[in-house]
Structure 1
Amino acid sequence: MAEPTALLEPRPTAAPATPSRSLRNLALGLLRTARPRQWIKNVLVVAAPASAGELFTARALTQLPLVFALFTACAAAVYLVNDARDAEADRAHPVKRHRPVAAGQVPVPVAYAVGGALAVLAPTAAVWLCSPYTSALLSAYLGLQLAYCVSLKHVLVVDLVVVATGFLMRAVIGGLALGIPLSRWFLITTGFGALFMVAAKRYSEAVQMAGREGATRVLLTEYTAGYLRFVWQLAAGVAVLGYCLWALEEGGAPSTGVLPWRQLSVVAFVLAVLRYAVFAERGTAGEPEDVVLRDRPLALIGVVWLAMYGLAVAHW
């Protein structure tokens, strides 16, 4: 027979959360809210220096990592403020309710505070580490994206333009930091290429959410699938035209390379657009980086295009 005292022994209880564990959970929540998967978009800061053949200069190798980090900080600030602002609505969403702010892992005041701190520190640091022009562009990006979070995302067409402009700013800031003149064809191709991908993503959302308006953003229900298809097709056409004009104009001079790589790169560029359009038409074009990384033929075409483009810039 068991001893009477054995029956009175208290059951073990879970150890209370320690301050260090709570801080670690908070830090992980802030990191998740900053969307690390989205940071790959900021690689676009190398676009202008690469197109000018100055990617591997000493100044580029020191400045571009700083620009990448500062732009990432600004993007993280926008994500934090956006999630804090939309916390209540996200809690009612089947997927977004798992976001750290909506789930309560990151308190709303903390998200606002960290986002605000990053929004102030990144442009300020850019003045000292890069240039006043870089700081000005980062400030413009923050202002535009925060305005998008507050109101512009509810305005037809403007929401597409704002998101596409964010991509364009990423591509422009690298050249701005290094003082590289930006070609009009570079701006046209990059801007409309971004609009192509943004409209393709919206079209895919519209196709997937057809008949389920309550499960997606309200503005998306005001677009028609036919209109969004028109936008991404138009943007793709303008991007291809801009790239072709760049290749023909800049390649008009006698080439010192073995082959006319600049003109030949048009083939790879057009193939990449056509391959991406397959996913857009199917309604499966989600985040651009996911589309590129999950489709091997598209990734291979991209590598071939980069090789041709690099050879053209290097005049090989």
Structure 2
Amino acid sequence: MPVLLFRQLRPKQWTKNLLVFAALIFSFPNVNTEMLIRSVVAFFLFSFVSGCVYILNDFVDREADRQHPKKRYRPMASGALNPYVALVFGAILLVCSLALATYLEPRFGLVLFVYFVMNVAYSFRLKHVVIVDVMIIALGFVFRALGGGLVIEVPVTPWFFICTLLLALFLAISKRRHELILLENNMGSHRKVLDKYSKDLLNQLNSIVTTATIMSYGLFTFTSGRTQYLMATIPFVIYGIFRYLYLIHIEDKGGSPEEVLLKDKHILFTVILYALSVIIILKYFS
């Protein structure tokens, strides 16, 4: 049972919550031990609350997930885990996580609560509304970035929010495209909103978002109020996006961004080099 409950929290998808460390990275060289500890705690709190959302989402979608070639092996969809036991566990975990978040920083607790409510609305209704569904997914990443800044009490620039939103939209649109291709012969039986998308539309949306992301990040490096040497990180962003587009269009991947991050060495090394470059630039050239 403990193993099934832990699997139900989808720890492989916790990589999405690494975004809470973005504010910490861009705070160099003013980072201290307390800020690091708070960011680590924030990461796990977002992971736990995200896990509660996954529990609710899998509970609602367990019948549809049984028709999906991969999702049918999830604990509730496969029948290995009692759905109501998972719900009780999720409720307890949610209350404890929100209480600790509020204790750390009341505004962070509020962000975490709104994030949960938004995702509940997504699970029950908004995931069936075309375009709104991908925007809700993208907003989830923005909340992670905002929460990471609030918990360590550092301001986050508007450009940072814009870049986060656009990059998250890119990942969300890519996910829908992958699902559309994977389930093109039986897409309506799993996710109704896929009936309202087409591959051409999603390709066009991705073209707009990727262009805007690169331009916005370039402007961010010059107008963030830090050193202009941050422009040296632009090639990492461009390569990362181009590599992800290659995986989407050539290798038909992109349905699970967290798996791409962990399994594709090019993407993983690019993210690591990008983070190290930001830290070095802010520490020695700001």
TM-score (norm 2): 0.91
Tell me the matched-pair count.
Answer: 284
2:151 matches 1:157: no
**What is the Cα deviation at residue 55 of structure 1?**
7.4
Report the equivalent of 1:276. 244
> What corresponds to 2:50 in structure 1?
75
Moved more, 55-64 or 106-115: 55-64
* Aligned-partner Cα distance in 1 for 2:80–2:187: 29
- The whole-number CA distance in structure 1 between the counterparts of 2:171 and 2:67 is 28
- Other-structure match for 2:254: 285
State the match for 2:9 in structure 1.
34
Change (3 A) 1:261 1:311: farther
Deviations 1:4-37 (A, max 9, x none): xxxxxxxxxxxxxxxxxxxxxx222111111111
CA contact (8 A) 1:35 1:79 kept: yes
Q: What one-letter code is carried by the residue in structure 1 that aligns with 2:272?
A: V
Question: Which residue does the alignment assign to 1:16?
Answer: none
Counterpart amino acid of residue 38 in structure 1: Q
Counterpart-to-counterpart distance in 1, 2:123 and 2:224: 40
* Per-residue deviation, 1:173: 0.8
Cα shift at 1:307: 2.8
Match of 1:132 in 2: 106
The one-letter code of the counterpart of 1:200 is S
Superposition TM-score, scaled by structure 1 size: 0.83
Q: Which runs of 5+ in 1 are unaligned?
A: 1-25
Matches within 5 A, 1:194-213: 194-213=168-187
The structure showing larger relative contact order (alpha-carbon pairs under 8 Å, at least 6 residues apart) is: 2
Aligned mates of 1:223, 1:238 — CA distance in 2: 21
3-state SS, counterpart of residue 65 of structure 1? helix
SS of equivalent residue, structure 1 residue 86: helix
> Amino acid of the residue matched to residue 143 of structure 2?
M
Distance 1:48 1:192 in 2: 17
Q: Which runs of 5+ in 2 are unaligned?
A: none
Q: CA RMSD in A?
A: 2.0
Counterpart in the other structure of 1:312: 281
Q: Distance in 2 between matches of 1:61 and 1:55?
A: 11
Q: Which of 1 and 2 has greater Rg? A: 1
Identity %: 30
In the alignment, the residues of structure 2 paired with residue 92 and residue 207 of structure 1 have an alpha-carbon distance, to the nearest angstrom, of 15
Question: 1:270 Cα deviation (Å)?
Answer: 1.3
